[in-house]
């Protein structure tokens, strides 16, 4: 069993619309001019770097945009040009929503349970419904469509439908899910489901919405056939949510045998570290929990630098390294906190990478990737066209440089020429990923 990183390939419609309420970075850059080409190249280079560390690396193809059918569904009529013009004049947020490239943050593409953890010995995937934000809710069914193509063999994989699109089952995917497997990927792990609300008023955030409902994760644990004794449900701190921590991966990070979390990450009295230790104690495993104190790294700096939205990776040689956003290197408090971690025994190195285009829209290195633990047989059974190889890296880079604009503003979203460019881009990607008709049948 090995861990594969599935990164979202940034799409050609990457833009700054500020649609995500509660995401401080997204709101701060609303209305700015984006650079889709640079965003995609930064993400691709980050994948290449992680692969160079010895990690298995895949990518998720961009979803097709714009979704004109959504505007038609809600009352916009006429030809495509008329619909785009009317939406731009009367409902600009809706127009931006159908162009959104937020699917690039693969941490929200679903929740995964590897086959070594499930009762039926299959890998289970549930695409997140992402219903808290309209533009993100548009991803759910297309995400399932994508997973169905990548993990099509029912002997190895079960791809579930997204949970019912109601507040009680609000689901944001793996951004609020952590798996602890302190003796390696091949042994059964503990699944930690971090929720923002259980439907009770007590402990609810006051400023920003809690996006993940406990009932959603309880349903996913059942669907994935996880043993109850190997699951932990823990509430996110309302203080953190109101500070702009819209997902747990903005305030805590982990890999197999190491977890690093801010002291205000979880609700008071949770005692997550003690719960994990009690479950792991009979197995005699070596698991480490590092708490970052508010005095060391104030929450405002944690959110600004996306310190915790770093990738924590266990390399094939057993060393643990962190891939952090360059914003953390530029923030003195965050940089010092990483230096202390690297000076200890748990973290061998911290590597800073530039993913500024993604960061300006509210997603760092960890947002861009989803972890999937696969056996050798499962890795061979999945669709091979999304594995990052030397040849495919070169093909994707050339494709991005040819088909992506280097600037995109809101006014460009009503440009008919842009739609033609997008259709050409998607058609050119199909042979690279080996999925003929993938975009033609997507919506």
Provide the whole-model pTM.
0.94
pLDDT at 284: 77
By CB atoms closer than 10 A (0-12, 13-18, 19+), residue 325 is buried
> 40: which residues sit within 8 A by CB, 6+ positions away?
9, 10, 11, 12, 14, 400, 404
Q: Looking at the predicted structure, is the pLDDT value of residue 18 above 80?
A: no
Q: Considering only CA atoms, which of 93, 38, 136, 28 is closest in space to residue 360?
A: 28
Q: How far apart are CA 168 and CA 190, in angstroms?
A: 24
Separation between Cα atoms, residue 382 and residue 108, nearest integer Å: 20
pLDDT at residue 269, as a whole number: 74
Write down the pLDDT at residue 120.
97
- Of all residues in the chain, what percent carry a pLDDT higher than 90? 83
pLDDT of 17 higher than 80: no
Considering 3, 38, 139, 172, which one is annotated as catalytic? 172
Element (DSSP H or E) covering residue 70: helix 68-73
Each residue's pLDDT tens digit, 219-236: 999 999 999 999 999 999
Domain range annotation of the chain: 2-65+100-433
pLDDT by residue (tens digit) across 47-73? 999 999 999 999 999 999 999 999 999
User: In this predicted model, what pLDDT tens digit does every residue of 320-364 receive, in sequence order?
Assistant: 999 999 999 999 999 999 999 999 888 999 999 999 999 888 889
Q: Measured between alpha carbons, how far is 32 from 410 in angstroms, rounded to an integer? A: 9
The secondary structure of residue 17, as a DSSP letter, is: -
In sequence order, which ranges of 373-415 are alpha helices (DSSP H)?
376-381, 390-403
The pLDDT of residue 165 is 95
Quote the CA–CA distance of 443 and 438 in Å, as a whole number: 10
**Beta strand 190-195 with 231-235: parallel, antiparallel or unpaired?**
parallel
Taken in order 22, 23, 29, 32, the sign of the CA dihedral is negative
Nearest 5°: phi and psi at 256? -45, -55
Catalytic residue selected from 247, 262, 264, 403: 247
Question: CA 372 → CA 46, 91, 116, 336, distances in Å?
Answer: 18, 38, 12, 31
With a cut of 80, say whether residue 38 has pLDDT above it: yes
User: Structure tokens of 323?
Assistant: 């891939």
Q: Which of 308, 217, 234, 303 is nearest to 268 (CA)?
A: 234
Q: Catalytic: 213?
A: no
pLDDT of residue 232: 96
Residue 21 has pLDDT above 70, yes or no: no
Whether residue 22 is predicted with pLDDT greater than 70 in this model: the reply is no
380 burial class (0-12, 13-18, 19+ CB within 10 angstroms)? exposed
172 is a catalytic site residue: yes
H or E stretch at 334:
helix 332-343
Rounded CA separation 267/252 (Å):
13
Residues 274-294 have a mean pLDDT of: 89
Q: What local confidence, expressed as pLDDT, does residue 361 receive?
A: 81
Instruction: Write down the architecture of domain 2-65+100-433 according to CATH.
Output: 5-stranded Propeller (3.75)
User: How confident is residue 24, by pLDDT bands cut at 50, 70 and 90?
Assistant: low
Statement: residue 192 has pLDDT above 90: yes
Q: Identify which of 292, 296, 363 has the alpha carbon closest to the alpha carbon of residue 332.
A: 296
pLDDT beyond 70 at 27? no
pLDDT tens for 391-408 read: 999 999 999 999 999 999
pLDDT, residue 29, reads 62
- b/e string for 117-153 if b means 16 or more Cβ within 10 A? bbeeebbbbbbbbbbbbebbbbbbebbbbbbebbbee
What pLDDT score does 155 carry?
97
Q: Report the alpha-carbon distance of residue 158 to residue 122 in Å, rounded.
A: 7
pLDDT of residue 311: 97
Structure tokens at 125: 């995937």
Residue range 24-41: average pLDDT? 80
CA distances from 190 to 117, 183, 198, 256, 396 (A): 8, 11, 21, 10, 36
Whole-angstrom Cα Rg for the chain: 21
The active-site residue out of 38, 262, 367, 403 is 367
Say if residue 25's pLDDT is above 60.
no
> Cα-Cα-Cα-Cα dihedral of 68, 428, 406, 55, to 10°?
110
Residue 367 annotated among the catalytic residues of the structure: yes
Query: What are the residues whose beta carbons fall under 8 Å from the beta carbon of 219, sequence distance 6 or more?
Result: 163, 169
pLDDT of residue 400: 98
């Amino acid at each position: 069993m090995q861990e594969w990183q599935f990164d979202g390939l940034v799409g050609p419609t990457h833009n700054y619309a500020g649609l995500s309420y509660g995401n401080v970075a997204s709101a701060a850059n609303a209305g700015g001019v984006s650079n889709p080409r640079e965003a995609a190249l930064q993400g691709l280079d980050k994948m290449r770097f992680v692969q160079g560390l010895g990690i298995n690396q895949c990518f998720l193809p961009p979803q097709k945009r714009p979704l004109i059918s959504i505007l038609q569904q809600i009352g916009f009529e006429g030809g495509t040009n008329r619909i785009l013009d009317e939406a731009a004049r009367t409902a600009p947020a809706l127009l931006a929503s159908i162009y959104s490239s937020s699917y690039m943050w693969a941490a929200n593409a679903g929740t995964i349970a590897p086959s070594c953890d499930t009762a039926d010995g299959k890998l289970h995937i549930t695409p997140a419904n992402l219903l808290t934000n309209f533009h993100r809710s548009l991803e759910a069914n297309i995400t399932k469509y994508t997973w169905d193509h990548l993990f099509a063999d029912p002997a190895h994989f079960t791809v579930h439908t997204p949970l019912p699109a109601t507040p009680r089952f609000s689901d944001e995917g793996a951004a609020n899910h952590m798996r602890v497997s302190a003796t390696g990927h091949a042994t059964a792990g503990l699944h930690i489901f971090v929720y923002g609300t259980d439907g009770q008023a007590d402990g609810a955030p006051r400023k920003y919405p809690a996006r993940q409902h406990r009932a959603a994760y309880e349903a996913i644990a059942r669907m994935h056939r996880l043993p109850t004794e190997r699951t932990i449900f823990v509430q996110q701190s309302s203080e953190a949510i109101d500070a702009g921590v819209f997902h747990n991966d903005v305030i805590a990070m982990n890999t197999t045998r190491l977890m690093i979390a801010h002291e205000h990450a979880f609700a008071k009295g949770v005692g997550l570290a003690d719960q994990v230790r009690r479950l792991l104690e009979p197995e005699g495993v070596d698991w480490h929990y590092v708490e970052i104190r508010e005095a060391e790294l104030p929450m405002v700096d944690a959110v600004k630098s996306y310190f915790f939205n770093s990738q924590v990776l266990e390399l094939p040689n057993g060393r643990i390294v962190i891939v952090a956003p360059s914003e953390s290197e530029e923030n003195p408090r965050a940089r010092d906190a990483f230096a202390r971690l690297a000076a200890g025994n748990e973290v061998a190195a911290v590597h800073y990478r530039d993913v500024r285009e993604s960061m300006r829209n509210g997603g760092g290195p960890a947002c861009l990737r989803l972890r999937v633990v696969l056996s050798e047989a499962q890795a061979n059974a999945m669709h091979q066209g999304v594995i990052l190889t030397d040849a495919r890296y070169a093909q994707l880079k050339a494709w991005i440089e040819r088909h992506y604009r280097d600037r995109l503003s809101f006014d460009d979203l009503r440009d008919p020429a842009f739609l033609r460019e997008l259709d050409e881009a998607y058609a050119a990607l199909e042979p690279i990923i080996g999925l003929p008709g993938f975009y033609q049948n997507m919506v």
